[in-house]
């Protein structure tokens, strides 16, 4: 049996498959169909300081091989999370990583401070795909200096693993990964959703109430893989691969491209046990291919003499 | 899968067997079907549980898009990937009413047969109103005390089903009624205004896009009544809601 | 019958559907199955100064709802194009727009100069998704100053319609569209392919010989639509929508989002008559909805009070 | 669509009718099939024309992925979207040879029946060699003068088909042979070395990913022989190539 466990910034995870923020709730809605204890970890829905009701309907739209969402970071807020959700999560035998969203740097700090001392929270993932109210709503995550500052400020507040989740909607994600690394972030999660849009031609209105939304699912997998490849070549800290992972084969592509671990998102909606199946499939692949440790796969891409578009062109 | 049969003009009934599911489904709950193994369409499709006969379970649907088109092509022996039962059942165990007034518009008939059985088990009489464009679109099986309305008058009352209900109840008042309605949004709005005006308790079963069906995507908000804006989740808190609790 | 013809920078096109560069060859391979004379226009495969043999196999890979390509701008070069392909294109009753690719700004100018005087070339589309050899292979199209300079230099060389085709692999495509507008470009074509990647987990090698490639097809439609929406709000010059258009409904989404015209790409591979069918479908939609002129659809999106992620967030 | 039948272990023959296509297909050409209406799988799938009987056309395939899995599920009466015939036919009208030596590996047998007819029409005798893993994977219909090889020796020569050809031709030399080969790349390479060593003209029919099948995507390069690197297109210039013209 291949070794599946590994250490992520000092934290021991039983396997390399986590469930992505916003696609598994707070872990307590998936129980009957699948045991979350078999996951490498659970990333919570993004938590903000105050509860957020989220955007008006329509919040989701299906697209070819993918879906758009504009949930609006609907969440119960960090305080209710602690009282209502954390007790259950503590009872699950897996790592729990709190994902944090905020609209000012101070708010990120505040949420992290509230969570920091809590037993049962094993690490933090910072969602920087949020509008910076001070900068007129520009997304923090598209501003390299802002990402650096958020990392620096939060790093000072915690010794727990600090993951920064990057947005793909930038020209060179490698620069953002480097900024996180330079400021002491433990890992980068690559990637959040691509900005997308859908229009109802009958009404000539946007399908989503917010006009545009975030694209996820199998459709974005090739983009996510390229972003992970780019980020993994830019930094030495772990890159956690996210985007369109539906099965073990998808996850293996990410590991081979350089991801230390992966997160399963949209696939949970279709099969709440998707993450567990992915983890099992990775182990099976290793066994079938005589790979003693999943670690041996990470970054094992044999790119030969091929030069990539990231360096050159199509 | 047992097969797909036709139950009206463009209306199909799909049946499959699952002993466990057949025992646990309550009226008003839904099943979330994966129609294709490929990622096209990507998401599951929700359907009300329509009928249960021993371990055989039925849903009723019409073809409106890719998912339902694929469902119609399913054959006996195919394996269906079904999640469920999901959502909350209708509140039938409720001392506040004596008679169930069931209203279905089009395929909003879907949850009514199970609801009929549930109410009868509670010993509550049922009167049912069904509306459709024409007689061919009426799916009238397994209902009780049925009154129909069609837009073209080809069967029953000519006009919309809410007018029929209002007309009927004014002529034949029932004791402590509670309305259970399912159908297109404009119909549900009309039902809600009628219920409010007549001070009848009323649950409406809503429809809308769903991402997961189990409460983990936050994709199915239903605006709640109340001074401060807030949302419930259609899939987890519904799909049926008491009209006093939501904005409709 | 709705009016389908329109003027694009002085050029009269019979309808708003063109075929995208690199997805219709030089127009002479699609004849038997569909009459290219029914298209609004044909954009040629990118032409370079010298012939290019292109990249080694494997050049294409299928992905969920899309495909990756790394053709390597294989083309017969501008000179053979003039002698071998232009005579045929002249015989087709549709607009012919020459797409130009190059690795230095001088080379763009040189190719345009060679084509400029030729009868039968109705305009130019500049592919800036090419590596800038002077800048170590960085893509021209991710450098706003380079895009501005290319536009300025080429504008000085031609009075024919000058379209600049933008890459989506940038943070804010609106800035690039504005640069083109400021330098006198007649229109922007939005968008080229997204960078993506696929790995063969059996061999642990990239599927494409160039490691990464360009993602196209239905999978990218939501992203393309958002980019078109962003670009159309940034400039007054026409935006030509490209990305995943397979049928009239897709094309209508782009027109409603603000595209003046559209290009059909990957869909030609599945049905060489796709562009014609899209054009016919648009006309039918207008007739059925009592729209006298397709122009009435352009930018007709009713966004209500919704604010988009482009301004704010999910 | 006429239907899908089984022609061997995991091997299926799909037949459909098209009068126009049946008249224009030449041996070695291929058909590009759209397997699903949805965009999953997105691209067409190329298959050699296997058999033509009046207006009925057949292809032979095994299930290797999503596209072929979907093809196997097709039923009589389904409408197939087929582009073709595409590519260049085998060069059978060639004064330089008298006997056709046909070599197929696995489903590389696909173009051989039509090729057999074409050569017979030219009055050229044919000798055919077919290799497969075992007897169950041999599709031997409509071939002439057949010699088989199986990896497990369950039918004919035990070993690979190229060894069989070499062995056979050394014992039974034929007059002015020309080899036509179709099969997996390693087999084609072995055929090519054998043909070069024996100075026999040889055409190999190649396989590989295709985007369009008609020459507009440049997605199917085949490296040409010669001092300067250059590519032909498999779909437009092939799929069959004289081994002197390509790097193999
Ligand atoms: C709780 C619940 C119970 C349902 N029960 C039934 C039932 O018993 N029988 C039945 O026929 N249908 C039922 N529906 C609706 C059914 O889920 C949709 O018809 C189905 O998802 C459409 O799938 P499609 O792929 O065929 O259409 P798509 O290709 O997804 O869409 C086609 C058209 O239908 C619209 N549409 C898509 N999904 C929905 C939806 N959920 N509600 C309204 N419009 C939609 C789209 O906007 C589009 O215009 C139910 C929906 C919910 C939420
Ligand atoms: C000119 C030509 C003629 C062909 N004739 C036949 C035929 O007569 N009978 C037949 O069974 N097959 C034939 N093929 C191969 C056939 O097109 C592929 O088997 C088919 O495309 C696989 O589709 P899929 O969706 O089932 O597999 P996919 O899901 O696309 O892929 C499954 C596996 O097959 C590999 N694969 C995909 N496409 C090809 C390909 N074109 N060549 C080799 N490997 C591939 C993939 O890399 C993957 O490992 C031909 C191919 C060409 C180019
Ligand atoms: C409905 C939905 C809600 C999401 N909510 C969040 C969130 O709250 N915080 C966050 O960082 N990412 C969120 N994401 C992004 C996912 O975590 C993930 O990065 C993205 O969906 C890509 O992965 P996938 O293709 O596997 O879904 C959300 C995605 C979806 C589809
Ligand atoms: C095989 C292939 C080759 C392409 N070649 C070119 C090219 O030479 N020049 C160019 O500007 N765009 C090229 N493109 C990009 C397309 O023109 C188009 O912008 C892109 O594919 C998105 O549109 P689609 O999704 O409709 O294909 C190519 C695309 C594909 C798929
Ligand atoms: S459909 Fe996902 S939360 Fe309701
Ligand atoms: S498959 Fe498109 S050029 Fe050959």
**Per-position DSSP letters for A41-101, written without gaps between them:** EEEPPPB-SS-B--PPSP-EEEETTEEEE-----B-HHHHIIIIIHHHHHHSSSEEEEEE-
Mean pLDDT confidence for A114-127: 97
Mean pLDDT of chain A: 95
- What's the rounded Cα separation, in Å, for the pair B152 and C72? 62
Per the domain annotation, does A133 fall within a domain?
A: yes
Q: What total number of domains does chain A contain?
A: 1
CB-based burial label for C157 (10 Å; 0-12, 13-18, 19+): middle
Ligand 4 atom at minimal distance to the Cα of residue C245? 26
* pLDDT-derived band at A10, boundaries 50, 70, 90: very high
Q: Nearest bound ligand to CA D232? A: 6
- Which tops the pLDDT comparison, A29 or A309? A29
Q: Which chain C residues touch B40 with a CB distance below 8 Å? A: 64-65
- Cα C64 to middle of ligand 2, angstroms: 17
Q: Is 90 exceeded by the pLDDT of residue C32?
A: no
Tell me the pLDDT band of D175, cut-offs 50, 70 and 90.
confident
Q: Name the more confident of C141 and A29.
A: C141
Say whether C170 sits in a helix, a strand or coil.
Answer: coil
- Return phi, psi of residue D103, to 5°: -125, 125
Q: What is the mean pLDDT of residues C278-303?
A: 97
In the structure encoding, which two tokens stand for residue D204, read together? 């190999």
Burial class (CB in 10 A: 0-12, 13-18, 19+), D24: exposed
* Beta-carbon contacts of residue C289 (< 8 Å; ≥ 6 apart): none
pLDDT band, very low/low/confident/very high, at A306 (cuts 50, 70, 90): low
D127 pLDDT band, cuts 50/70/90, is very high
pLDDT value for C312: 43
- Say how far apart CA C300 and CA A96 lie, in whole Å: 46
- Which residues are CB-neighbours of C28 under 8 A, at least 6 positions away? C85, C88, C89
Residue with the larger pLDDT of the pair A136 and B167: B167
User: Is there a cis peptide before residue B38, judged by omega within 30 degrees of 0?
Assistant: no
**Ligand 3 centre distance from Cα of residue B157 (Å):** 49
How large is the average pLDDT for residues C30-58? 92
Per residue in D130-167, pLDDT (tens digit) is: 999 999 999 999 999 999 999 999 999 999 999 999 99
Which three-class secondary structure state does DSSP give residue A139? strand
Tell me which residue has its CA closest to atom 20 in ligand 2.
D45
Taking residues D62-67, report their average pLDDT: 93
pLDDT band at D233, cuts 50/70/90?
A: very high
Give the least confident one: A186-200, C132-146, C244-258: C132-146
What pLDDT does residue A134 have?
Answer: 83
pLDDT for C128: 96
Phi, psi dihedrals of residue B193, rounded to the nearest 5°: -65, -40
Confidence of residue A313 (pLDDT cuts 50, 70, 90): very low
Distance, in Å, from the CA atom of C232 to the CA atom of A142, rounded to the nearest integer, reads 21
- Most C CBs within 10 A among A103, A134, A309, hence the mutation to make, goes to A309
Range of the domain at A206: 6-313
Collect all residues with Cβ–Cβ distance below 8 Å to C10 and sequence separation of at least 6.
Answer: C161
**Helix crossing, C221-234 with C248-257: angle to 10°?**
30
Q: What is the CATH number of the domain that holds A172?
A: 3.20.20.70
3-class SS string, D179-243 = EEEECCHHHHHHHHHHHHHHCCEEEEECCCCCCCCCCCCCCCEEEECCCCCCEEEHHHHCEEEEC
Tokens representing A162?
A: 């600090």
Give A312's pLDDT tier (boundaries 50, 70, 90): very low
Q: Is residue C264 part of a domain?
A: yes
Q: How would you list the strands of the sheet with D45-48, edge to edge?
A: D45-48, D30-34, D81-86
Whose CA is closest to D212, among A213, B164, C19? C19
Contacts of C198 (CB under 8 A, 6+ apart): A222, A225, A253, C61, C63, C68, C206, C207, C208
Residue to mutate (ligand 5; options B214, B231, B232, B239; most atoms within 8 A of CB): B214
Higher per-residue confidence, A131 vs C79: C79
pLDDT score, position D1: 86
Question: In this predicted structure, what is the pLDDT of residue B94?
Answer: 86
Q: Is the CB of C65 inside 8 Å of chain B's CB atoms?
A: yes
Q: How far apart are CA B205 and CA B28, in angstroms?
A: 7
CA distance C250 to C216: 14
Q: Look up the pTM and report it.
A: 0.97
Domain assignment present for residue C285? The answer is yes
- Half-sphere exposure (Cβ direction) of B78: Cα atoms closer than 13 Å: 19
pLDDT score recorded for residue D8: 87
Asked if pLDDT for residue A223 goes beyond 90, the answer is yes
Cα(C50)–Cα(C118) distance, rounded to whole angstroms? 18
Neighbours of C70 (CB within 10 A): 29
Q: pLDDT tier at C309 (50, 70, 90 boundaries)?
A: low
Nearest to D59 by CA among D9, D129, D115, D11: D11
The per-residue DSSP string of B83-110 comes to: EEEESPPP----TT-SEEEEEEEGGGGT
By C-alpha distance, which of A35, A268, A259, A18 is closest to A123? A18
CA distances from D44 to C208, C284, D28 (A): 19, 27, 18
Which run of H or of E encompasses A125?
Answer: strand A123-127
Does A136 map to a domain?
yes
pLDDT of residue A314: 40
Angle at alpha carbon of residue A107, lines to A101 and A111, rounded to 5°: 70
pLDDT at A230 over 80: yes
In degrees and rounded to multiples of 5, residue C174 shows phi and psi of -55, -35
Query: Chain-centre distance of CA A196, in angstroms?
Result: 18
pLDDT of residue C168 exceeding 50: yes
How far apart are the CA of A67 and the centre of ligand 1, in A?
A: 16
| Sequential pLDDT tens for chain B (248 residues) | 899 999 988 999 999 999 999 999 999 999 999 998 888 899 999 999 999 999 999 999 999 999 999 999 898 999 999 999 999 999 999 889 999 999 999 999 999 999 999 999 999 999 999 999 999 999 999 999 999 999 999 999 999 999 999 999 999 999 899 999 999 999 999 999 999 999 999 999 999 999 999 999 999 999 999 999 999 999 999 999 999 999 99
Burial of C3 by CB count in 10 Å (0-12 exposed, 13-18 middle, 19+ buried)?
A: middle
Does residue C1 form part of some domain?
Answer: no
Band (C160; pLDDT cuts 50, 70, 90)? very high
* Pocket of ligand 3 from Cβ distances under 6 Å: A 20-23, 45-46, 69, 71, 73, 99, 127, 165, 192-193, 216-217, 220, 242-245, 264-267; B 211, 217, 219
Task: Please indicate, yes or no, if residue C307 is contained in any of the structural domains.
Answer: yes
Of the partner residues D38, D41, D66, the one whose CB lies closest to the CB of residue B66 = D38
Q: What is the mean pLDDT of residues C59-71?
A: 97
pLDDT on residue A309: 54
Q: How many CB atoms lie within 10 A of CB B226?
A: 10
Inter-chain residue contact D221 with C270, CB threshold 8 Å: no
Nearest to C55 by CA among C66, C69, C41: C69
Can you tell me the distance from the alpha carbon of C264 to that of C98, in angstroms, rounded to the nearest whole number?
Answer: 16
Question: Minimal CA–CA distance to B90: which of B61, B49, B130?
Answer: B49
All residues at 6 or more sequence positions from B106 whose CB lies less than 8 Å from its CB, including other chains: B131, B132, B133, B137, B183, B184
In whole angstroms, what is the distance from residue A243 CA to residue A313 CA? 23
Full set of structural domains in chain D with CATH:
3-86 (2.40.30.10), 99-242 (3.40.50.80)
**C148, C180 in Cβ contact below 8 A?**
yes
d(CA C143, CA A153): 31
Tokens (6 digits) for B52: 């249960």
Q: Is the pLDDT of residue A276 over 90?
A: yes
pLDDT at position C15 over 90 = yes
Neighbours of C292 (CB within 10 A): 11
A1 lies in a domain? no
B233 alpha carbon, closest ligand? 5
């Amino acid at each position: 049996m291949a070794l599946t466990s590994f250490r992520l910034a000092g934290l021991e995870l039983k396997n390399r498959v986590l469930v992505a923020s916003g696609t598994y709730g707070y872990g307590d809605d998936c129980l009957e169909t699948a045991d979350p204890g078999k996951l490498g970890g659970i990333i919570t829905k993004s938590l903000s300081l105050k509860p957020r009701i989220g955007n008006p309907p329509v919040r989701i739209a299906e697209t070819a091989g993918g879906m758009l969402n504009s949930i609006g970071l609907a969440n119960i807020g960090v305080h209710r999370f602690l009282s209502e959700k954390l007790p259950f999560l503590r009872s699950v035998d897996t790592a729990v990583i709190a994902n944090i969203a905020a609209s000012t740097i101070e708010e990120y700090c505040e949420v992290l401070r509230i969570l920091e001392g809590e037993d049962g929270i094993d690490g933090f993932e910072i969602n920087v795909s949020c509008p910076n109210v001070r900068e007129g709503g520009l997304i923090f995550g598209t501003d390299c200096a802002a990402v650096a500052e958020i990392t620096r400020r939060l790093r000072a507040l915690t010794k727990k693993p600090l993951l920064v989740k990057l947005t793909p909607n930038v020209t060179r994600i490698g620069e953002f990964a480097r900024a996180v690394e330079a400021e002491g972030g433990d890992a980068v999660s690559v990637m959040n959703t691509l900005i997308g849009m859908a229009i109802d031609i009958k009404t000539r209105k946007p399908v989503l109430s917010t006009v545009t939304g975030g694209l996820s699912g199998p459709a974005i997998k090739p983009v996510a893989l390229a972003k992970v490849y780019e980020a993994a070549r830019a930094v030495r800290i772990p890159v956690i691969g996210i985007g369109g992972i539906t099965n073990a084969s998808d996850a293996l592509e990410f590991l081979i491209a350089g991801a230390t671990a992966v997160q399963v998102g949209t696939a949970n909606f279709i099969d709440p046990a998707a993450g567990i199946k992915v983890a099992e499939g990775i182990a099976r692949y290793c066994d079938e291919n005589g790979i003693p440790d999943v670690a041996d796969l990470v970054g094992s891409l044999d790119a030969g003499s091929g030069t990539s578009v990231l360096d050159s062109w199509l | 899968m047992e097969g797909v049969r036709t139950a009206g003009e463009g209306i199909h009934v799909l049946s499959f067997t699952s002993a466990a599911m057949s025992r646990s489904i309550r009226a008003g709950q839904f099943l979330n079907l994966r129609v294709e193994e490929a990622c096209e369409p990507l998401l599951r499709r929700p359907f009300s549980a329509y009928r249960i006969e021993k371990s055989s379970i039925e849903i009723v649907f019409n073809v409106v898009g890719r998912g339902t088109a694929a469902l119609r092509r399913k054959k006996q022996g195919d394996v269906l990937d079904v999640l469920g039962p999901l959502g909350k059942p209708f509140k039938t165990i409720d001392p506040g009413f004596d008679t169930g007034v069931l209203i279905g518009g089009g395929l909003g008939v879907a949850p009514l047969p199970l609801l009929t059985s549930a109410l009868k088990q509670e010993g509550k009489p049922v009167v049912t109103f069904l509306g459709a464009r024409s007689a061919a679109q009426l799916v009238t099986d397994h209902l009780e005390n049925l009154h129909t309305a069609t837009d073209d008058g080809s069967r029953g009352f000519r006009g919309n089903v809410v007018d029929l209900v209002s007309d009927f109840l004014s002529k034949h008042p029932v004791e402590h009624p509670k309305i259970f309605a399912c159908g297109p949004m404009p119909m549900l709005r009309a039902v809600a205004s009628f219920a409010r005006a007549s001070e009848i308790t009323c649950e409406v079963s809503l429809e809308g896009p769903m991402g997961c069906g189990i409460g983990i995507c936050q994709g199915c908000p239903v605006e709640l009544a109340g001074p401060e804006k807030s949302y419930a989740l259609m899939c987890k808190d519904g799909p049926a809601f008491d009209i006093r609790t939501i904005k409709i």
